[in-house]
Amino acid sequence: MGPTRKSRLMAKGVRRSVLSIPAVLGLVYGIAALTSCGARSQTIESTTTFSYGIGNDPAHVSSHTTGPRGQEDTEYRTGRTLVESLPFRAALIHPVDAVFIGVTNFLAESGKVPTPAHAIGASFAETIFRQAVERTPKDGPSGKPGILGREIKPSLIKLYTDLRLDPRDAAWHANEVALVLDLLEEPVHRYSPGAPLPADGLWRYLGGPEPLTKRRILQIAKEQAERLSRTGGADARVAIFYLASHGRLGDDGNRYAMAADSTRDLSTWIRYDEIADLFRGTRDGVPSLSALVLFDTCLESEDPSPTGSSYEPPGGTVVLSAAAPGQYSWHWRESTQVEVLKDVTGQGSLRKDSGRFDASFYASMSVLPVAIATAVREDEVNCARNATNTIGVTTTVNLVQSLVKKIPTLADSAQAGRHQSAQALFSETTRQNVMAESPENHLLFAIPCGKLMPAEEERLSARRLMASSRINEAIRAAQKTR
């Protein structure tokens, strides 16, 4: 059967150019026994850390009091932050080969300021996937994490950053950054052990001291592509390449990301296509949309009406840019809200207006990983409305759709009076393949549905449900019914 009129029109309208995935990939995934979590609101709370999460109840605020009453009482109240709202139900159900890179240090002659935001962002994104693997049913070979007999290897989720946390170096606001990082679980705790950094100047690295030069970043991507080229069929993996750094749109219309050794000369920067093209040819025989290349960079330009050159990523590859040509990628300000209330009256009654009120240690982070977290998190919340014995799914297509929608709502650009819109680039072939394919090929996360419960109970319940391999049964049932 030939293409329908609607699909022909869609193909005609989107043949070239930068595409908004929601406009062209409006696939409705209905899988028996699986509940789609695709319905999402388009705006979410974006600025107040206290207001994000499931509800806004007092349980989200922890507090403790120190100091003898009658002398000086001090109460520290720590607000719930976004990082505490990382997805906690979703399990990874598709083998991935994921690389997360955050470049924080740059050459002085580049004129670009260093920023921890990129390393925090990369770490945050890596944490989402690593934690999701921990929830994956043990249905791989030899009882390892996996699904339908395919192993999901945590070792193929890699983080590369060069963030040096040195309390003597005010440039990094090191203790503030550490406070925020401490809220993340592995791998950050390996470097920042839940306490202020020692003042003796001992450095702590998130990632490592090795500079993330252009050569090294390209080598990391090349090795990832080579690994993928050696897999396929039953061993097929979804490739995720994430790079957070400074970026800009060149006068030549190309999109560029900055490396640790980049200068003002754009030839020392990394063109988006230098990375994405590495995946060309490695995806043969692999289901489409099997490589997500995520660039969390600005694409600022001095051209007042920049368009960017047209670029068609390899088949099966979606290149997602956190900012459209000419735009900045605004960071998410992640706060550790700490209210310090001191009783200076000597009466032992704490009142906010009776003493000092301090607040807000913060660190900025790239916005794209926040979009990943909130997208999956919203799927979890949506899924919670369904029956307890159902399982929701997030597909790679869902994820890309969500990121394109969410990034602008999360960025601080509106506050600054500047627009930011994320873009996804992919070929017409990729689009057609995705539309033609079975959605099971694109499954990425599985989410146990059912009523949300207090956090600890929730985690246990989610683990029990996933451990029951119900997801396996659901997918098998879906396959049988097709």
Partner 1 sequence: MACSILQLGAAEDYFPLAAVLTPRLQPDPSGPTINVPRKPGPEADATLIALARQINTVDDSLRRKASSGALSEAQLGALIEARNVAAARLMQGRDVLAGTSGGEFPAGEKRAVDNYLSQIMKGLDSPKGRDVVKTNIVFAGLTADVALLYQSYANHSFKSPDWSTYTPGDSIKVGTYIFKVKALMTQRECEESVPVLAEPTERRICGAFRP
User: Which of residues 145 and 408 has its CB atom nearest to partner 1 in the complex?
Assistant: 408
Question: Whose Cβ is closer to partner 1: residue 94's or residue 248's?
Answer: 248
386 interacts with partner 1 by CB under 8 A: no
Q: Which of residues 301-340 bind partner 1 (CB under 8 A)?
A: 302, 304-305, 328-331, 333
Q: How far is the CB of 392 from partner 1 (least distance, A)?
A: 33
Span 268-297, contacts to partner 1 by CB under 8 A:
296-297
Whose CA is closest to 37, among 411, 443, 426, 431? 443
Listed ranges 189-197, 228-236, 240-248, 437-445: which one lies at the site for partner 1 (CB under 8 A): 240-248
Task: Assess contact for 322 and 368: CB atoms under 8 A.
Answer: yes
Task: Please state, in angstroms and rounded to a whole number, the distance separating the CA atoms of residues 444 and 109.
Answer: 42
Amino acid at the residue 124? F
Query: 3-state class of 146 per DSSP?
Result: strand
Q: How far apart are the first and last CA of the chain?
A: 18
Among 244, 292, 404, 444, binds partner 1 (CB under 8 A): 244
Radius of gyration of the chain (CA): 23
Tell me, residue by residue from 416 to 445, as one string, x for binding to partner 1 by CB under 8 A and - for no binding. Answer: x-x---------------------------
Residue 64 near residue 78, CB atoms below 8 Å? no
Cβ closest to partner 1, residue 170 vs residue 387: 170
Q: Taking contact as CB under 8 A, which single stretch among the options 64-72, 128-136, 205-213, 244-252 is the one that binds partner 1?
A: 244-252
* Secondary structure (H, E, C), 392-404: EEEEHHHHHHHHH
| Shortest separation between residue 112's beta carbon and partner 1, angstroms | 4
369 binds partner 1 (CB under 8 A): no
φ, ψ of residue 481 to 5 degrees: the values are -80, -10
Nearer to partner 1, 327 or 430 (CB): 327
Say if residue 187 is preceded by a cis peptide, omega within 30 of 0: yes
Instruction: Read off the tokens for 81.
Output: 């932050």
Residue 330: CB minimum distance to partner 1, A: 5
CB 322 within 8 A of CB 329: yes
Count of positions on this chain that bind partner 1 (CB under 8 A): 37
From the CB of 277, what's the least distance to partner 1, in Å?
Answer: 23
The only residue of 119, 133, 258, 341 in contact with partner 1, by rule CB under 8 A: 258
Contacting partner 1 (CB under 8 A), which of 72, 151, 312, 412? 412
Q: How far is the CB of 40 from partner 1 (least distance, A)?
A: 25
Shortest Å, Cβ 122 to partner 1: 12
Show contacts with partner 1 in window 17-46 (CB under 8 A): none
Instruction: Outline where 97-148 has alpha helix (H).
Output: 117-134
DSSP characters for 94-108?
A: S-EEEEEEE-----G
Residue 242 in the binding site for partner 1 (CB under 8 A): no
CB within 8 A of 200, min separation 6: which ones?
none
Rounded CA gap, 204 and 197, in Å? 8
Interface with partner 1, residue 394, by CB under 8 A = no
Q: Which is nearer to partner 1, 155 or 305 (CB)?
A: 305
Least distance to partner 1, CB of residue 323, Å: 8
* Closer to partner 1 by Cβ: residue 247 or 450: 247
Measured CA angle at 214 (ends 210, 215), to 5 deg? 80
Does the protein bind partner 1 through residue 117 (CB under 8 A)? yes
Smallest distance from partner 1 to CB 351, Å: 25
The sheet with strand 255-257 has its strands ordered as 247-249, 255-257, 270-271
> Closest approach of Cβ 304 to partner 1, in Å?
4
Residue 330 burial (CB count, 10 A): 23
**Long-range contacts of 255-258, Cβ-Cβ distance < 8 Å, separation of 24 or more:** 255/295, 255/297, 255/299, 255/308, 255/311, 255/321, 255/325, 257/295, 257/297, 258/103, 258/106, 258/110, 258/112, 258/297
Q: Give least dist CB 460 to partner 1, A.
A: 39
Of 318 and 323, which CB lies nearer to partner 1 in the complex structure?
A: 323
Using the rule CB under 8 A, give the single segment among 89-97, 153-161, 284-292, 300-308 that binds partner 1. Answer: 300-308
Q: Does 109 bind partner 1 (CB under 8 A)?
A: no
Tokens 């099997």 found at: 290
CA dihedral 145, 148, 149, 151 (to 10 degrees): -40
Sign of CA dihedral 21, 367, 398, 187: positive
Q: Using the rule CB under 8 A, give the single segment among 52-60, 68-76, 78-86, 299-307 that binds partner 1.
A: 299-307
> Which residue, 156 or 298, is less far from partner 1 as judged by CB?
298
Taking the least distance from each CB to partner 1, the nearer of 244 and 384 is 244
CB atoms within 10 A of CB 74: 15
State yes or no: residue 265 binds partner 1 (CB under 8 A): no
CB 321 within 8 A of CB 420: no
Q: How far is the CB of 417 from partner 1 (least distance, A)?
A: 8
Subset of 161-200 contacting partner 1 (CB under 8 A): 169-173
Q: Which residues bind partner 1 (CB under 8 A)?
A: 106, 110-115, 117-118, 169-173, 244-248, 258, 296-298, 300, 302, 304-305, 328-331, 333, 364, 366, 412, 416, 418
